């Protein structure tokens, strides 16, 4: 009898974001000869929460959702990090993103640690009322695992100021009436009328723009006439594009979850933004640009590439095709380790995510302080403070990179890790 069974060639396991962040961490840790005990602590997460919770839908049926909150490290202060609503949310993604938050807050010199989480969900399939109930139920289920001096969530992919308002209201409702106002800063990224910060909506995108501007200044270059492409035209991608255009740069390509566009003569940012608002958030069909095969997007002719969507977008498969001389990481973990090696070998500069998109968490810190102290800050004051903080970080990373002759990501990680290491050395480890 003939055996007709054929053995399939095993497929290589695709690297996840957790693999990338651990490799980035260990590479930087080797460079600074990190204390081995501190390395052990920082290689793992402190707390991992998985919650399954029921919510009644508009049609009366009950659905079960899975939510996550991973708290990586709090040596420098309360856990801080976003909540995302996306089908790709799982425990490994939350672990990776929480670790990146630890390095990001440390690098920015903030009194925070790192956390991340979210719900495994496609929010486009649910009504606003359903999303509100899902959010409130998730908040209630998290209970004391979040708190204004313990773990402070913020918006992330597919969440916004409205989401944060629901979380704050639910959390505050669980407290006694005399304690409720003291708990308003349990989340940041709230609406301005509900304890939010003026300009928080643009803080991340503005930060991306600023780091690009600092890079141009350092290299005695002008942004006027520079061309750029943006992957992701949500909050971060839009505001980064908005400020770059004001500086004289030209958007020649853009991609969102629905499609890709190009126009060598330039795409007007505001026109595209207004079109997307009227088109259910999609850029598809925009009349002032041509449709493009998504696989060709990163290969577009441009000076600057801004990945501002999800992780693992630039890989060994497309890194060779990139024509930009600068990658500004608006998203968390958009470049995997293998893709990065190719880019660096080709002489392409990468402004790493933990610095490039840290404007958001710096803005969150300002909001937290504002709520904590019962203050109200003005927009110009906030943007000025943000620029000052980011400029200082950029200078530190650039100087460290040049002194040690290492890339900017490794330099940024090294600075962040050294700050945490110092905290452990000075404090000791209990008991």
pLDDT digits (tens, 9 = 90+) for 123-152: 999 999 999 999 999 999 999 999 999 999
pLDDT category of residue 14 using cuts at 50, 70 and 90 = low
- Comparison of pLDDT for 194 and 164, the residue scoring more: 164
Distance CA 234, CA 246 (A): 18
- pLDDT, residue 372, reads 93
Kindly state the average pLDDT of the residues 10-22: 73
398 annotated as a binding-site residue: no
Q: Which residues are catalytic?
A: 116
CB neighbour burial string for 124-162, b if at least 16 within 10 angstroms, e if fewer: eebeeebbbbbbbbbbebbeebbbbeebbbbbbbbbebb
Distance CA 304, CA 97 (A): 25
Distance CA 264, CA 100 (A): 35
Tell whether the model's pLDDT for residue 415 goes beyond 90: yes
Look up the CATH number of domain 45-194. 3.40.50.10860
Tell whether the model's pLDDT for residue 246 goes beyond 90: yes
Kindly state the average pLDDT of the residues 230-250: 97
- pLDDT, residue 430, reads 83
**142, 151 Cβ separation under 8 angstroms:** no
Phi, psi of 231, deg, nearest 5: -95, 115
235 annotated as a binding-site residue: yes
pLDDT category of residue 181 using cuts at 50, 70 and 90 = confident
**Residue 143, CA distances (Å) to 114, 172, 173, 339, 364 in order:** 18, 11, 11, 40, 21
Return mean pLDDT, the chain: 94
Tell whether the model's pLDDT for residue 11 goes beyond 70: no
pLDDT digits (tens, 9 = 90+) for 281-293: 999 999 999 999 9
pLDDT digits (tens, 9 = 90+) for 309-343: 989 999 999 999 999 999 999 999 999 999 999 99
Q: Give the tokens for residue 33.
A: 């000869």
Please tell me the least confidently modeled range out of 7-16, 31-40, 242-251, 259-268.
7-16
- pLDDT, residue 429, reads 85
Q: Which segments of the chain belong to CATH 3.40.50.720?
A: 197-431
Tell whether the model's pLDDT for residue 258 goes beyond 90: yes
Kindly state the average pLDDT of the residues 177-188: 93
104 annotated as a binding-site residue: yes
The bridge status of strand 260-262 relative to strand 290-292 is antiparallel
- pLDDT, residue 1, reads 44
- pLDDT, residue 431, reads 81
182 annotated as a binding-site residue: no
- pLDDT, residue 326, reads 98
- Selected from 3.40.50.720, 3.40.50.880, 3.40.50.1100, 3.40.640.10, the CATH number assigned to the domain covering 197-431 reads 3.40.50.720
**363, 219 Cβ separation under 8 angstroms:** no
Angle value at C-alpha 157, between 397 and 134, nearest 5 degrees: 140
Kindly state the average pLDDT of the residues 58-68: 98
Long-range contacts of the stretch 10-15 (C-beta < 8 A, 24+): 15/312, 15/336, 15/337, 15/338
Q: Which segments of the chain belong to CATH 3.40.50.10860?
A: 45-194
Kindly state the average pLDDT of the residues 165-191: 95
174 annotated as a binding-site residue: no
């Amino acid at each position: 009898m003939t055996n007709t069974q054929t053995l399939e060639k095993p497929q290589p396991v695709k690297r996840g974001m957790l693999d990338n962040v651990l490799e980035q961490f260990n590479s930087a840790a080797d460079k600074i000869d990190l204390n081995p005990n501190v390395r052990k602590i920082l290689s793992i997460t402190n707390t991992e929460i998985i919650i399954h919770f029921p919510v009644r839908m508009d049609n009366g049926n009950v659905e079960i959702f899975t939510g996550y909150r991973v708290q990586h490290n709090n040596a420098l202060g309360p856990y801080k990090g976003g909540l995302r609503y996306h089908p790709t949310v799982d425990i490994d993604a939350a672990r990776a993103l929480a670790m990146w938050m630890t390095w990001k807050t440390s690098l920015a010199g903030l009194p925070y640690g790192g956390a991340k989480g979210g719900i495994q969900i496609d929010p486009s399939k649910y009504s606003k009322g359903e999303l509100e109930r899902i959010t409130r139920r998730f908040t209630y289920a998290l209970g004391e695992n979040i708190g204004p001096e313990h773990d402070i969530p913020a918006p992330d992919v597919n969440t916004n100021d409205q989401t944060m308002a629901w979380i704050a209201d639910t959390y505050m409702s669980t407290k006694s009436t005399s304690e409720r106002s003291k708990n308003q800063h349990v989340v940041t990224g709230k609406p301005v009328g509900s304890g939010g910060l003026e300009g928080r909506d643009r803080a991340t995108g503005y930060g991306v723009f600023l780091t690009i501007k600092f890079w141009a200044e350092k290299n005695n270059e002008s942004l006027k006439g520079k061309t750029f492409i943006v992957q992701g035209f949500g909050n971060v991608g839009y505001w980064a594009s908005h400020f770059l255009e004001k500086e004289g740069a030209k958007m020649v390509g853009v991609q969102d979850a629905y499609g890709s566009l190009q126009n060598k003569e330039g795409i007007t940012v505001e026109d595209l933004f207004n079109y997307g608002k009227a088109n259910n958030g999609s850029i598809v069909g925009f009349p002032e640009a041509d449709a493009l095969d998504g696989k060709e997007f990163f290969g577009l002719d441009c000076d600057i590439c801004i990945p501002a969507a999800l992780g693992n977008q630039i890989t060994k498969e497309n890194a060779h095709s990139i024509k930009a001389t600068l990658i500004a990481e608006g998203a968390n973990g958009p470049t995997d380790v293998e893709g990065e090696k190719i880019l660096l070998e080709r002489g392409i500069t990468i402004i790493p995510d933990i610095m490039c998109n840290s404007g958001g968490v710096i803005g969150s810190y300002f909001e937290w302080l504002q709520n904590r102290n019962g203050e109200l800050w003005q927009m110009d004051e906030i943007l000025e403070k943000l620029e000052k903080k980011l400029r200082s970080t950029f200078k530190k990373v650039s100087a460290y990179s040049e002194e040690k002759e290492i890339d900017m990501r490794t330099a940024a990680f090294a600075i962040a890790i050294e700050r945490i290491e110092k905290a452990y050395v000075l404090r000791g480890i209990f008991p």
